[in-house]
Amino acid sequence: MLHDELRFYPGGDRAIEVELGDGMDFTLNFTVHRLVAAVREARIAAIEDLIPELASFQVNYDPDRISYEDLTAEIARIYARIGAGASGSLPSRLITMPVWYSDDQTAACIEDYRKTYPDKRTDPDLVCEMNGLADRAALARLHSGTEYWVAALGFWPGLCSLLPLRPRARIFAPKYNPPRTWTPKGAIGIGGALTCIYPDRTPGGYQLIGRSPAPIYDGAQRLPAFRDSLALFRAGDRVRFRPVTQEECAQIEAEVAAGRYEHDIVEYQVFSVDRYLDWAKGQGGRG
- Which residues sit at the interface with other proteins, rule CB under 8 A? 1, 9-17, 19, 22-24, 48-58, 60, 63-64, 68, 152-159, 161, 174-175, 177-179, 191-194, 199-200, 205, 219, 229-231, 235
Nearer residue to other proteins within complex by CB, 178 or 224: 178
Nearer residue to other proteins within complex by CB, 230 or 250: 230
Nearer residue to other proteins within complex by CB, 158 or 184: 158
Q: What is the DSSP letter of 91?
A: E
Q: Which residues contact 55 (CB under 8 A, 6 or more apart)?
A: 19, 20, 21, 22, 23, 24, 28, 29, 32
Within a 10 A sphere around the Cβ of 274, how many other Cβ atoms?
11
Nearer residue to other proteins within complex by CB, 64 or 119: 64
Angle at 99 between CA 96 and CA 103, to 5 degrees: 170
Q: How far is the CB of 50 from other proteins (least distance, A)?
A: 6
Q: How far is the CB of 60 from other proteins (least distance, A)?
A: 7
Q: How far is the CB of 175 from other proteins (least distance, A)?
A: 6
Torsion, Cα 154 155 156 161, to 10 degrees, reads -50
CB contact at 8 A, 108 and 254: no
CB contact at 8 A, 56 and 32: yes
Nearer residue to other proteins within complex by CB, 229 or 246: 229
Nearer residue to other proteins within complex by CB, 188 or 244: 188
Q: How far is the CB of 151 from other proteins (least distance, A)?
A: 9
Q: How far is the CB of 146 from other proteins (least distance, A)?
A: 18
The secondary element (H helix, E strand) that includes residue 99 is strand 94-101
- Can you give the C-alpha Rg of the chain in angstroms? 20
Q: How far is the CB of 114 from other proteins (least distance, A)?
A: 20
Nearer residue to other proteins within complex by CB, 142 or 152: 152
Calpha distance 113→62 (Å, rounded): 42
**DSSP labels, 11-35:** -TTSEEEEEEESS--HHHHHHHHHH
Q: Which of 195, 128, 131 is nearest to 161 (CA)?
A: 195
Helix %, strand %, coil % for the chain, to 5?
Answer: 30, 30, 40
Nearer residue to other proteins within complex by CB, 179 or 259: 179
Q: How far is the CB of 150 from other proteins (least distance, A)?
A: 11
Q: How far is the CB of 25 from other proteins (least distance, A)?
A: 8
Residues forming beta bridges with residue 21, ordered by sequence position? 2
Q: Which residues contact 232 (CB under 8 A, 6 or more apart)?
A: 95, 158, 215, 216, 217, 218, 225, 226, 263
